[in-house]
Amino acid sequence: MASFAQTWSLLSLILQIIMFSGNAKTLTITNNCSYTVWPAIATTSGTGSTNDSGFLLREGQSNVVAVSTEWTGRVWGRTLCSTNQSTGNFSCQTGDCTTGNIQCNSSYVKPATLAEFSLSQTNINEDFYDVSVVHGYNLPLSVAPNVDSAPECTATGCVFDLQKSCQLAELRVVSKTNNSIIIGCKSPCDVFGTDQFCCNSSVSDCQRSNFSLGSSIFKRPCPRAVSYALDDDTDTFTCDDSRTSSYNITFCPSAAMSRLLSTPASQALQPAFAPKPDTLSPTTNSKTKPTHQNLPGNISKGKVHTALLVAFPTAAGVLIFVLVGIYLCISKRKAIEKFSGKSHFRLYIMVEY
């Protein structure tokens, strides 16, 4: 029998979908971590579910949240949350919403691994999504469109080894009860605050040595995640909004997904603010696109046709010659055997030697 929590979650989802009158997309949020996570949802535009702006997920639990098809917002996880017995104030050590309640709003305490969405962009009909560690990292997180076959609708996320990769002491967030346990890693930009570490004013800032040191903290282990301000042009992904009506958001994704997220995406898709390639005007000095006929090393169709005309008669002649030779050899052997009265075995010995 389904638990009360599961039954209430299902009823809540049905009510949400009815509320959106069929124009809804769903976010399936799953906790695969070995500890409790308190997901939070913040809506920037469109219609989200205010009843599910903050909730609890124990290990192995999932919750399905409906949002409007043109929803923009973010999802993140809070960890090490508790309620103060004397004040009744609810708070979390990472990703806290500062509301004092399990319900959330648009604000969060850094660091927090963010799943960001901008669904069904006007006049584009594409969903844009990313996983951002611009403001630090507190949880392994993946986002994957729920589609059967659409290579461009790829998964993204970040699975980060806090003990191994967050080596700078200034960036570490430690547990309030045990300062030897690292529970998060701050962004170098948030800690040091310079343009060189933030790379948010010009591309030249991204090329300085101290920025390379800061950006490598997240970019190397999480090549698909947005890790600094000017990074979203390569790590913001798109999916045609007609291909999927749901997204899977997973805390502590599987080992197979983690391996996928540790490799760069095969295609870097355009962000929301970038012009689409088919709207760009061709330049006057653009080169002719290479074709099969003018690529080096390729032969034209005429040459192929000529080669085939020569090859087939030649091959047929060789085959006829071989068959005639075999026939003559067999006939000669039979004649010799008949004449000498020798056995087939003796004839074979004689011929061999």
| Residue-wise pLDDT tens digits, 254-311 | 999 999 999 988 644 444 333 333 322 233 333 333 332 233 333 333 433 444 444 5
Distance of CA 227 to the CA centre of its chain: 15
Question: How far apart, in whole angstroms, are the C-alpha atoms of residue 342 and residue 328?
Answer: 20
pTM, full prediction: 0.69
Among 97, 101, 108, 107, residue whose Cα is nearest residue 87: 101
The whole-number pLDDT of residue 115 equals 97
Q: What angle do CA 30, 248, 147 make, to 5 degrees?
A: 150
Does a structural domain hold residue 255? yes
Residue 152, domain extent? 4-276
Q: What is the mean pLDDT of residues 7-22?
A: 46
Does a structural domain hold residue 83? yes
Residues 223 and 310 placed together within one structural domain of the fold: no
CATH number of residue 223's parent domain: 2.60.110.10
Does a structural domain hold residue 156? yes
The whole-number pLDDT of residue 197 equals 77
Residues 101 and 198 placed together within one structural domain of the fold: yes
Q: Does the pLDDT at position 349 exceed 50?
A: no
CB-side neighbour CA atoms (13 Å) of 140: 21
Among 59, 80, 78, 184, residue whose Cα is nearest residue 133: 184
Residues 149 and 182 placed together within one structural domain of the fold: yes
Does a structural domain hold residue 284? no
Over residues 59-110, the pLDDT tens digits come to 999 999 999 888 999 999 999 999 999 999 999 999 999 889 998 877 889 9
Residue ending a domain, choose from 261, 276, 291: 276
- With 0-12 / 13-18 / 19 or more C-beta atoms within 10 angstroms meaning exposed / middle / buried, residue 119 is buried
Query: How many structural domains is the chain composed of?
Result: 2
Q: What angle do CA 81, 50, 79 make, to 5 degrees?
A: 15
Mean pLDDT of the chain: 75
Does a structural domain hold residue 287? no
Residues 261 and 347 placed together within one structural domain of the fold: no
The whole-number pLDDT of residue 316 equals 64
Residue ending a domain, choose from 276, 309, 340: 276
Does a structural domain hold residue 285? no
Question: Residue 158: pLDDT band by 50, 70, 90 thresholds?
Answer: very high
Q: Does the pLDDT at position 252 exceed 80?
A: yes
In the chain, the percentage of residues whose pLDDT exceeds 70 is 63
Q: Count H helices and E strands in the chain, helices first.
A: 9, 13
Q: Does the pLDDT at position 327 exceed 80?
A: no
